Chain A
Amino acid sequence: MQTRRSRKWLSVGLMVGVLMLIVPLQEAIHRTRPSLFDPDRRDRRVSAISVGPTPAVIAALGGFRTVAADLLWLKAENVWHGGSWWAMLPLLDAVTQLDPHFLLAWKVYGWHAAYNLNAESETLVDKRFWLRRGIENLERAVEANPDTWEMYFELGWTLFDRAHENWRAAHYFKLASELPDAPHYVSRMYYRSYEHVMDFENLFPAMEWALSRHKDVAMHQKLVRRDIEWWTNHWDDPQEHRRQIVLENTARKQRSVPYHMYPDDPYWDVCPVCGLPSPKGSEVCENPLCGHRLRAEAGGESLQPSAG
């Protein structure tokens, strides 16, 4: 009897010992796991959505968040093909909340808001709202996926192509191109952002930087060298300046984005009404369909840029 009791106490002692070993170990493993509910990220946007209106749902799903996101994604596909563009928003919101690492969902969410809903909107206020919403979604995507180049590139592209915020776009293209597996075209997009606004101070260093990347990709090296040669020969060519201004401001007009006024351009004044260039010092816009007076009667200053 005595032996049995002592054996029992020894077993209990052994278990207490093993438990003491286990608790710190499982704690240490658990701390290393990426978590949506990481307390250190409370004040950040991704965490904010995680503790938003659906934490109970997310919690209840436990390890099945990915499957729930997939089912909602299928629903979003159906809604898309059914043409109910506005109904996609809550679905995409839920999908990205449930699975913040679902890159395709973030891409579609950002693109849908910044491109489709922006184009579908009738007023300028609405257009700006959806463009902002698309960019904010992609910013959240970057925060949730800081190690993948794709989200930085997607944000950079939307800023470059849709919002025409070229300097911010360049920043994200550079970040994207520095991440592993980023394709060579990303580093070329970095200097393209400066090219369109003819920011030569940043353009040449950016092109040199792009040349220093992907040394083993012959096509990339060829394209960057071609661009360096082009801009070395044309950076002071008035006709090239005119071409760039027309291209950039025509695109901005189509996107309902304010024109870029190229304030430091030595050859051209940009019309605040049509966004097209006229020779420096012109009194009236050269565009026959516009004819806007570029110099005000008093003060001689250009008007503020307006939306297209």
Chain B
Amino acid sequence: MNPGYARVLFVLGLIIVAAIIAVTRKAWAPGAFHALPSIWRIAKITVAEARRRRVLHAVVVLVVLILFSMTFFSYLSPQEQARMLISGGLAAITVFGILLAIFVGAFLIPQDVENRTVYAILAKPVRRFEYVLGKYVGALIILGAVVAVMTAVLVGVLAIQDRLVADLPESPFNPNLGGVIFAAVMSYCSLAVLTALIMLISTVASTTMTVVSAFIIWAVGSLQSQIYDLAESATGATKLVLLVIYHVMPKLENFDFRHQVSNFISYSVYSGWTAVLHGIGYTLVVLILASIFFNDRQV
């Protein structure tokens, strides 16, 4: 995108958002504060429901086993072991995190509709956007807990391995714990954006459709550079469609620091935090859209 256009777009966006907030603040501000307890209650119920699901526990146990089994490559040099543990561990966290995000995000609302639980909730003084936000916050807590457990195990395994090979002369084993934690946090942020998008789709589509779309969104979000390359070489409507996808879809690549961390190369923390800032804005838009669609849905 031309930097001049980008700047104009940014300023215009800022003006529109500021104007709308200023004009409507009296209408929504008291309501928003009033909504917080309802959102929190729904989030707590969502977490309690998830805790009862055995699949969640199974995923955590599986990841822990995978992480511990990665210490079996003792024939490798300490330098190789560190790389394998970090890249493999972060990949396991990402893969299982994505799977959890897809299945948690895709089933939360449709399952409530199918079980008719949603009628009981919406019959109470709970507005629909509070319900959607509550579900989203619940999903974030579940994902956060799972990612935190997996990261803690990975950090523990790296620290133990570091102790085990510390006696080797000039051991180049570098556990890079700070980098691992940073990459895991960024991975969690990308899951948060992905979950919001999945919930948006789940408000309008069936569960199967949501799961399929979620995988496509994840793939497209992770391959933005390739999509840009394709758009560059395409013409006409194809180019337009690809450019729209490139600009509108979330760039999940921006949250991916696994490659830099496992290769022990420098990374920009600033780039990570700006990606988080962008993620928050993006998630906000997606959740507002989800609330609007869920508002119009006949439940």
Chain A positions within 8 Å of B, measured between CB atoms, are 7-8, 10-30, 32-33, 35-37, 39, 59, 62-67, 70, 73-74, 77, 99, 101-104, 145, 147-148
The 3 closest A-B pairs by CB, nearest first: A20-B13, A17-B16, A24-B6
Measured between alpha carbons, how far is A17 from B251 in the docked complex, in Å? 19
Is there a chain A Cβ closer than 8 Å to B206's Cβ?
A: no
**Docked complex: B241-299 residues within 8 A CB-CB of A:** 247-248, 250-254, 256, 258-260, 262-263, 265-266, 268, 271, 274-275, 277-278, 281-282, 284-285, 288-289, 291-292
Q: A21-B17, A24-B1 are in contact. Are A66 and B229 (CB under 8 A)?
A: no
23 contacts between A and B (CB under 8 A): A15-B285, A15-B288, A17-B13, A21-B13, A21-B14, A21-B281, A25-B10, A25-B274, A25-B278, A26-B251, A26-B275, A29-B275, A33-B254, A37-B229, A63-B94, A63-B222, A66-B87, A67-B91, A70-B88, A73-B80, A99-B259, A102-B263, A103-B263
Q: Is the CB of B271 within 8 A of A33?
A: yes
Which of B24, B253, B266, B284 lies in contact with A33, CB distance below 8 A? Answer: B253
Instruction: Name B224's closest neighbour in chain A (CB-CB).
Output: A30
Complex interface: chain B residues within 8 A of A101 (CB): 259-260, 263, 265
Q: Is the CB of A20 within 8 A of B16?
A: yes
Measured between alpha carbons, how far is A236 from B68 in the docked complex, in Å? 64
Instruction: Name B92's closest neighbour in chain A (CB-CB).
Output: A67
Is there a chain A Cβ closer than 8 Å to B9's Cβ?
A: yes
**Docked complex: B100-150 residues within 8 A CB-CB of A:** none
Measured between alpha carbons, how far is A259 from B91 in the docked complex, in Å? 51
Instruction: Name B229's closest neighbour in chain A (CB-CB).
Output: A37
Complex interface: chain A residues within 8 A of B232 (CB): 39
A13-B20, A21-B10 known, 6 other contacts, Cβ within 8 Å = A7-B27, A26-B278, A29-B271, A30-B254, A35-B225, A70-B83
Complex interface: chain A residues within 8 A of B16 (CB): 13-14, 16-17, 20
Q: A17-B16, A25-B278 are in contact. Are A70 and B254 (CB under 8 A)?
A: no
Instruction: Name B73's closest neighbour in chain A (CB-CB).
Output: A74
Is there a chain A Cβ closer than 8 Å to B29's Cβ?
A: no
Q: Is the CB of A70 within 8 A of B84?
A: yes
Instruction: Name B172's closest neighbour in chain A (CB-CB).
Output: A104
Mostly, the B contact residues are helix
Q: Is the CB of B288 within 8 A of A11?
A: yes
Is there a chain A Cβ closer than 8 Å to B53's Cβ?
A: no
Measured between alpha carbons, how far is A245 from B175 in the docked complex, in Å? 47
Complex interface: chain B residues within 8 A of A59 (CB): 223, 226
Is there a chain A Cβ closer than 8 Å to B26's Cβ?
A: no
Complex interface: chain B residues within 8 A of A32 (CB): 268, 271
Interface centre among A26, A62, A70, A104 (most CB of B within 10 A): A26
Measured between alpha carbons, how far is A245 from B53 in the docked complex, in Å? 77
Q: Is the CB of B258 within 8 A of A27?
A: no
Instruction: Name A27's closest neighbour in chain B (CB-CB).
Output: B1
Q: How far is the CB of B191 from chain A (nearest CB, A)?
A: 13
Q: Is the CB of B263 within 8 A of A99?
A: yes
Q: How far is the CB of B177 from chain A (nearest CB, A)?
A: 18
Q: How far is the CB of A138 from chain B (nearest CB, A)?
A: 17
Interface centre among A12, A13, A29, A33 (most CB of B within 10 A): A29
Measured between alpha carbons, how far is A34 from B225 in the docked complex, in Å? 11
Is there a chain A Cβ closer than 8 Å to B79's Cβ?
A: yes
Complex interface: chain A residues within 8 A of B58 (CB): none
Q: Is the CB of A14 within 8 A of B253?
A: no
Complex interface: chain B residues within 8 A of A7 (CB): 27
Q: How far is the CB of A61 from chain B (nearest CB, A)?
A: 10
Interface centre among A8, A39, A64 (most CB of B within 10 A): A64
Q: Is the CB of B278 within 8 A of A29?
A: yes
Complex interface: chain B residues within 8 A of A77 (CB): 75-76
Measured between alpha carbons, how far is A302 from B189 in the docked complex, in Å? 72
Q: A11-B292, A101-B259 are in contact. Are A27 and B6 (CB under 8 A)?
A: yes
Measured between alpha carbons, how far is A29 from B269 in the docked complex, in Å? 12
Interface centre among A12, A63, A101, A145 (most CB of B within 10 A): A63
Measured between alpha carbons, how far is A103 from B82 in the docked complex, in Å? 13
Q: Is the CB of A29 within 8 A of B251?
A: yes
Q: Is the CB of B247 within 8 A of A27?
A: yes
Complex interface: chain A residues within 8 A of B73 (CB): 74
Which of A22, A62, A147 lies in contact with B285, CB distance below 8 A? Answer: A22
Interface centre among A14, A99, A145, A147 (most CB of B within 10 A): A14
Is there a chain A Cβ closer than 8 Å to B234's Cβ?
A: no
Q: Is the CB of A63 within 8 A of B253?
A: yes
Q: How far is the CB of B10 from chain A (nearest CB, A)?
A: 5
Q: How far is the CB of A50 from chain B (nearest CB, A)?
A: 11
Complex interface: chain A residues within 8 A of B7 (CB): 24
Is there a chain A Cβ closer than 8 Å to B48's Cβ?
A: no
Q: Mark B25-52, 1 if CB is under 8 A from A, else 0.
A: 0010000000000000000000000000
Q: Is the CB of B259 within 8 A of A18?
A: no
Is there a chain A Cβ closer than 8 Å to B12's Cβ?
A: yes
**Docked complex: B171-220 residues within 8 A CB-CB of A:** 219
Instruction: Name A62's closest neighbour in chain B (CB-CB).
Output: B222
Complex interface: chain A residues within 8 A of B27 (CB): 7
Measured between alpha carbons, how far is A15 from B291 in the docked complex, in Å? 12
